[in-house]
Structure 1
């Protein structure tokens, strides 16, 4: 048998939260990992910068110090504004997840995670733009081609397994013919930083279920907004629109954001262009497994590349990190087996486990997206749901996917039962 001297046991394409988490857990188990990133750190990324307890749990697994002294701003829960009601909902106290969330800019958040992967033993190479897969005669992926550095020097890297964690663009999966599914939810989000002395420190992430224009307060604007204090004199303000909305793809989202903020109190600083810290930036949110299969021919899809954003709340970081950890666990076991049917049997466990964990829950989320895309349904839900704190606590648990899988309270049992009963996507 011919021995191939591979560059790594696993190549991870993209050093976002999903890729770095995958690389960390692989390296911790002694796997030779090559983590490739097309940009240089630190680097900007369009995001709300808010982390729920699901993401905090993953950070703790990576050994990250999440204390305020290490540059993190903690939050107690979610403040929901809509239907004339302002409701503060604390994160639930659970055995499975911590009871606090965090805020931190992606500018150094991704850099921090990539460094954790390197400290665990992964090899990080930045300035490497992956251009496509290397295919064996049987169609299996045995590596990637890339352009390296400012001179775009052609290069080839080989490994028996490749992880596509290259984000919503999914260039590597697309090169394998894995296009996004049009029958799954998709969102668009835009965000901007503003200097705001009165809003930059907040114990709660703030979600706006109704957006109104200053010019015509009676008219509801499309989409849903957020205001997250950064703790550094700035706020992260943004809005999202789902593809179930009639406004999706037909709206100037940047103008929509400015129109909404023009009606906010002057002392907040968000209605004044002079307080803006940087441009309005946008990104797509691939939801509910909108690209499958999550494993094929030696390639595993992680995070946004596999459309793993939660349809209920637009959260992507937690699911990128969770899928990265799972992918690493599966690959560690697969690489311990001989190449061929035995290894493939182990790798097939990755999409199967993703389906068990999220399939039913994402099915519920896909239905939810279609319902709230109807303004009439949304108005009724906001008007009649918001005044009831107990109901809203249930909604918070459901939308943030925060339950104890075993035991738990009645709310947990109902939500877990619904997710199990729903046919997996």
Structure 2
């Protein structure tokens, strides 16, 4: 089954699939390998932000509408933040939205369904040699530069000039070859489970983020899904979990049973299936995303939003830039670390300001009273409310963040 390719992509999640589809659009063939067979489950919060829709549109104008037509998703119109003092801050993804005429600015869909939706697009493209159930156990540099991929038995699966590593948060390549160490201060532990019959979900499918005083600096989420279901979970920095010896499963059960606002809503709800855990390498630290003949995408590149825990859109942004620079590397025959650093620059140019802002918001969680002030302010401050909206859309925050007047308005109100 050995195949020689210019470009090989490990992992067909949102980052890998996006890269493959952009390469196909550019007429550049690639080999896409995944160890699973799709549809497959992935432990995640399942929310698809406006940035995800923008990235889908960049692959194909028709994709957002196609996603919106799936019965496996619900349109989501915003976020409800619940501050430690219980104050609800409703942030619509689009101010003054009209459900009758506007396209949804976000969706919630199980990863089982969303990732399969993207993979179905991959299957349509003759330029993509897509192979499922292929477990790459080992990678090795070739003498000529490039990579050889082997299975567990030591059989050579493929050879390529450029390897796009999109195989997720637990990527052995990211750790062993690219040297991304697990750093508890830049890593989050998450748990998620599914429920049916949670009371009081938003009629507009706003996703809920609860910042509970006794649980800070962690947070709890409730995301509505089709058929009366909801994705419910908690996330907290690994450093905090270790330092305070927190049993997250126990805490999740306790909060849902005793929290004055949440307990009544979960009293009649039924848990569907187990509570499953996952690790999230956060983009709160700038790391190298490339090296000789390789690029790291999405979770494998530690690009998860430190505040919201969102990783899908960042994986897709990195997939788009990876396709651009992979095609240029093939065209120029240059796979050197120096050339591939253009990919790092492109990704961080797009994401770094937002990641920094999210890191600052994450740090606010250590100061509940400050967080309450921000929530109270935002409720009466259009600039702050809009900024929070923009974090979840594809609006370019960078221009705003460069202007000193923006921070003045943020702190002291004003239109």
How would you bin the TM-score normalised by the shorter chain? 0.7 to 0.9
Q: Any unmatched runs of 5+ in structure 1?
A: 213-218, 406-411
Of Structure 1 and Structure 2, the greater helix share is in 2
Q: Does 1:87 align with 2:73?
A: no
Find 1:144's aligned residue among 136, 141, 149. Answer: 149
* Aligned positions of 1:176-255 closer than 5 A: 176-180=177-181, 182=183, 185-196=186-197, 198=199, 202-211=203-212, 219=214, 223-243=218-238, 245=240, 250-255=245-250
1:309 maps to what in 2?
304
Cα distance change on mapping 1:43 and 1:200 into 2, 3 Å = farther
The corresponding residue for 1:128 is: 134
1:106 aligns to 2:96 (yes or no):
no
Counting matched residue pairs gives: 392
Work out the CA distance in 2 between the residues paired with 1:137 and 1:153: 18
Which residue among 56, 60, 72 is the counterpart of 2:57?
Answer: 60
For the residues of structure 1 that align with 2:226 and 2:364, how far apart are their CA atoms?
35
TM-score by length of 2: 0.83
**Structure 2 equivalent of residue 364 of structure 1:** 357
* Aligned match of 2:44: 47
Q: Which has the higher contact order (CA 8 A, sep 6+)?
A: 2
CA RMSD of aligned residues (A): 3.2
Q: How far is 1:173 from its partner?
A: 2.2
Deviations 1:24-60 (A, max 9, x none): 1112222221111112221111111111100111223
What is the distance in 1 between the residues matched to 2:154 and 2:149? 14
Distance of aligned partners of 1:33 and 1:220 in 2 relative to their CA distance in 1, 3 Å threshold: closer
> How far apart in 2 are the matches of 1:403 and 1:125?
35
- 2:25 matched to 1:28? yes
SS of the residue corresponding to residue 43 of structure 1 reads coil
Counterparts in 2 of 1:417 and 1:84: CA distance versus 1, 3 Å: same
* Alpha-carbon distance between aligned partners in 1 of 2:155 and 2:118, rounded to the nearest angstrom: 27
Distance apart, 1:369 and its partner CA? 2.6
- The answer as to whether partners of 1:51 and 1:103 remain within 8 angstroms in 2 is yes
**Contact (CA 8 Å) 2:317, 2:347: kept in 1 or not?**
no
Which moves more between the two structures, 103-112 or 195-204? 195-204
Correspondent of 2:380 among 363, 384, 388: 388
Over 3 Å counting, the alpha-carbon distance change for 1:154 and 1:271 in structure 2 is: farther
Cα-to-partner distance string for 1:191-230 (whole Å, 9 max, x where unaligned) = 1101116456741333333337xxxxxx556521111110
Q: CA deviation at 1:241?
A: 1.0
Q: Confirm whether residue 318 of structure 1 aligns to residue 310 of structure 2.
A: no
Structure 2 segments unaligned to the other structure (5+ residues): 97-101, 408-415
